Structure 1
Amino acid sequence: MDENTLKLLVKLTQEGQCGSLEEHITSGGSAAVQAVCCKHFGRSGDTLLHYAARLGHLDIVEYLIKRVGMDVEVYNNDYKRPLHEAASMSHQACVSYLLREGAKVDSLKKADWTPLMMACTRRNLDVIQELLCHGADPALRNKDGWNSFHIACREGDPLVIHHLLLIAPDVWKTESGTRRTPLHTAAMHGCEEVVRILLERCGYTPDVRDSCGVTPFMDAVRNGHLSVARLLLEEHQASPTAADVLGTQPVHQVAVTGQDEALRFLVRDLNVDVNQRATGIQLTALHYAAKEGHTSTIKTLLELGADLHARDKKGRTALHMASIGQHADAARTLLQLGLKDSEDTSGITARQHAKRPDLVRVFECGSSDRNS
């Protein structure tokens, strides 16, 4: 069977034209059948069965398995089986059929993802239930240490979370390879209803930390999910001033991510010190905002009482940090607000860190303004 004919078979499969597909394969005789069973296409190494399962063409899936004789466990270059494809695209009928034909419910693709994990990336409870009814294990972990419950918490469907906890009440007792819990995941992605369920039904300790010392509250607030942050404060006694392993607190972390409303929430509502320094190198939130080039956050911090002239352990101001980060707009903003260039404890000025032409021009203009 030549390449053009094989490409046509792929096209017919993707379009769901089962009759035409069968006609072309039958006309090619046993050689065509053998070619279809063995042929893997493209970089992914998909077979016709992968295409059919991914697109939910149940009649073609049945034809390829029953009439052509394709292996229900055939895998592509990522070790994905047809069941992975059908589960990941929420094709329940194909999932059911593949399982009836002997597909292994907990087969592993690359990075140790199971069909149930793939299904949990979608909000389709029926497919998840089908896999669980056939014995899928929600506690299995992929190479990053995530189980299906982690993934479901990221997607944020309360019905799926309730069902997984019903089937496997202890499935929440898991950590990723970096010690992140499902509570971290739900908080980071702003899944408020899921966070509420986890706080009500699971025994997480307040301010549970991952390997970097990050708490669920930190995850919520630095990603701008203030309703989740409030929920963790009210229902889980989370600390708004806990520090990670680098000594940074939420006030520093929201400056890094440029979350202005979160800054106002921390400083005005929770009375967090806007000039609180991270332990170690003694950076303030203003230093972090300047290093990331967040001009609006710089202005917000100053409105909240940030010390424009604060220096870290090395004697660097926010202007040094803006220059280190090569952020011309942030440096211009700081100069306009009245911060002067100066030397750090090593005798290096902010201007000396400037590499980009636009940033160099900012300092040149500043010098011209001072000389005039």
Structure 2
Amino acid sequence: MTGAFSYRSYFSHFHSRPSHLRRYQPRPGDTSSKFTSGNGTRCIAWTRYDGSVYIVPEHEEPSPIVEAIMNGNDELLRSKLKSGENLLEKNEDGWIPLHECAYYGQLKCLKLLIKAYPGTIDVRTMNEETALYLATNRNHVDCVQLLLESGAEPDIANKARVTPIYKACERQNAEILKMLVKYNGDVNHRCNQGWTALHEAVSRNDLEIIEILVQAGAKISVSNIYGISPLFVAAQSGQLDALKFLIGHGADVNSQASDKATALYEACKNGHAHIVEYLLSENADANIPGKNGLLPIHIAAQCGHKETVCLLIPVTSRARIRRSGISPLHLAAERNRDETLEELIEAGYDVNSTLSYERSRMYEDRRSTPLYFAVSNNNIYATELLLKAGAHPNVDLINPLLVAIRQGCIKSMKLLLAHGANINAYIAAVPSTFPATIMFSMQYLSLLKFLLDQGCDALSCFTCEYGSGEHPPLQDISPREDFPQRNTKPKFVQFCEMVSTPKITRWAGPIIDLLLDYVGNVQLCSRLTEHLDSYEDWAVIKEKSSKC
């Protein structure tokens, strides 16, 4: 889905800490170890209870003013003010003591500084954060209340355009949110990505926060820059309570994001069966495709969400599936989703459905059937499942049997042959005078013998248009599965040309020897004779041919 993005993790990087906090203030239970960095700096690594590690320079300490604020020493701060000391000096991050007070939640110190410097209440850090933003971010309720009562602006955003209201929702602090709303904070403010406080609250399934926002005028159907509404967020993250609330307050269950995906589509992709079930009960349309033409059942099958697929089968139009040019069977087979494949077959999906021309041409080998996907994945179980359900093994332009031969998978070959695969399959786009099954098995004599035992046409290998006469110079020939350029007339490849390719010529004698065991009287062409004459040990093969 376009714009599927962790906004919470994105915005969590946009609240700064004062420079001294990079040196980290240890708490009870924290452990430390000292080391010297590569540039010779002495450092301390603090390990917290949650496993997080802070690495700080050993020698740096907070300033006396900051240390006083951290410790709540309002008497020292008062004496500094009385002495006329300037407490408006910014540190390297643009923080003044007012910001430190808000960050540490030191209410008495904060009162002193607001009284002394009332015009600094909305001063911003280098990251555009105000004291109100910092206090909100740290859940200091009393500091937030004091700042608001003292005239702090509730809607000043940081560099990412994140406001205190958004932070209150992120921190799930309903008390602070109510204060900000009371002081006319904008509940519909958008961040850089168009994300609102309601998006955030919904992603956390916090009904109390959601209700406060909606009662304060938050728009239910607001969308971010990707067209994602709060309803979409609820479906995407599996938040059923939030989803019910939004639908109950008029959210459009079939609204689409910028990439045409619906909430149902996204819930299917993420495997939230309980969300899918509820959306369907609220008349969500299972037949709205995304911009890629895929329906919710396609994406559920592709992701292997069996329970979700079962919910979608009775409400998905087979005609819409045909119109998409691809069956859920294709996607289940492509991703080896065997259980989902079983459910779709059991539901009567056509195992012989083929990809549309547009979708087939997306694959270099022009594959078309679910069976081809299963064989190309070397998935024996899925191959057998499809064949037993009636899959025809000779539909694709390149026969799946040829793919099994290239993989050297005897099990797949046996399954395909047992269900009618053409033992003498050819490739129309790369025509030859002998079966492509032989072409693809030449380097594997055991496979070649297996195919010959099954009745593969060995005699065609000795039919040569040049006979005992002179053969034209060899061209670059190899057993490939690609397609010739348009307007190029394909040339029929002969067996004698194929065994003359660099990769196969050293096997020419044994290959001819094996083929001779399955034919009657044959006359070797001059090129095959030349091959047998090139190695002394192959003289016996030449004699064998004359006896056939």
CA distance in structure 2 between the partners assigned to 1:11 and 1:188 by the alignment: 45
- Residue 30 in structure 1 maps to residue 112 in structure 2: no
CA displacement at 1:28 relative to structure 2: 11
For 1:182, the equivalent position in structure 2 comes to 263
Q: Find 2:133's aligned residue among 33, 50, 67.
A: 50
Structure possessing the higher relative contact order (Cα contacts under 8 Å, 6 or more residues apart)? 1
- Residues 162, 241 of structure 1: CA spacing in aligned structure 2 closer, same or farther, 3 A cutoff? closer
The answer to which of 209-218 and 121-130 deviates more is: 209-218
Q: Superposition pairs for residues 53-72 of structure 1, below 5 Å?
A: 53-67=136-150, 69-72=151-154
Name the TM-score, length of structure 1 as normaliser: 0.72
For 1:211, the equivalent position in structure 2 comes to 291
Q: Work out whether residues 264 and 286 of structure 2, in 8 Å CA contact, stay in contact via their aligned partners in 1.
A: no
For 2:490, the equivalent position in structure 1 comes to none
CA displacement at 1:125 relative to structure 2: 0.8
Q: Secondary structure at the match of 1:129?
A: helix
CA distance in structure 2 between the partners assigned to 1:223 and 1:240 by the alignment: 22
- Residue 110 in structure 1 maps to residue 214 in structure 2: no
Q: RMSD of aligned C-alpha atoms? A: 4.3
For 1:228, the equivalent position in structure 2 comes to 308
For 2:368, the equivalent position in structure 1 comes to 283
**How many equivalent residue pairs?**
335
- Residues 132, 228 of structure 1: CA spacing in aligned structure 2 closer, same or farther, 3 A cutoff? same
Q: Give 1:279's aligned amino acid.
A: S
Q: Work out whether residues 149 and 161 of structure 1, in 8 Å CA contact, stay in contact via their aligned partners in 2.
A: yes
For 1:82, the equivalent position in structure 2 comes to 164
Q: Find 2:383's aligned residue among 278, 298, 302.
A: 302
CA distance in structure 2 between the partners assigned to 1:274 and 1:115 by the alignment: 47
- Residue 196 in structure 1 maps to residue 284 in structure 2: no
Q: Which runs of 5+ in 2 are unaligned?
A: 1-88, 361-366, 414-422, 431-476, 483-502, 512-548
CA displacement at 1:308 relative to structure 2: 11
CA displacement at 1:104 relative to structure 2: 0.7
CA distance in structure 1 between the partners assigned to 2:504 and 2:142 by the alignment: 72
- Residues 230, 22 of structure 1: CA spacing in aligned structure 2 closer, same or farther, 3 A cutoff? same
Q: Find 2:339's aligned residue among 261, 266, 271.
A: 261
CA distance in structure 1 between the partners assigned to 2:371 and 2:137 by the alignment: 49
Q: Work out whether residues 217 and 239 of structure 1, in 8 Å CA contact, stay in contact via their aligned partners in 2.
A: no
Rg (Cα) greater in structure: 2
Q: Secondary structure at the match of 1:242?
A: helix
CA displacement at 1:20 relative to structure 2: 7.9
CA distance in structure 1 between the partners assigned to 2:374 and 2:505 by the alignment: 24
From the two aligned structures, give the one with the greater helix fraction.
1
Cα deviation digits, residues 201-242 of structure 1 (max 9, x gap): 33x4452222222222223222222222212224x2554981
Name the TM-score, length of structure 2 as normaliser: 0.51
Q: Which runs of 5+ in 1 are unaligned?
A: 321-330, 353-364
Q: Work out whether residues 232 and 238 of structure 1, in 8 Å CA contact, stay in contact via their aligned partners in 2.
A: no
Q: Work out whether residues 226 and 258 of structure 2, in 8 Å CA contact, stay in contact via their aligned partners in 1.
A: yes
For 1:18, the equivalent position in structure 2 comes to 106
Cα deviation digits, residues 101-135 of structure 1 (max 9, x gap): 11111111122222111211111111111101111
Q: Work out whether residues 125 and 160 of structure 1, in 8 Å CA contact, stay in contact via their aligned partners in 2.
A: yes
Percent sequence identity over matched residues?
A: 19
CA distance in structure 2 between the partners assigned to 1:10 and 1:316 by the alignment: 72
Q: Superposition pairs for residues 321-360 of structure 1, below 5 Å?
A: 334-337=407-410, 345=429, 349=479
Q: Give 1:57's aligned amino acid.
A: H
- Residues 305, 237 of structure 1: CA spacing in aligned structure 2 closer, same or farther, 3 A cutoff? closer
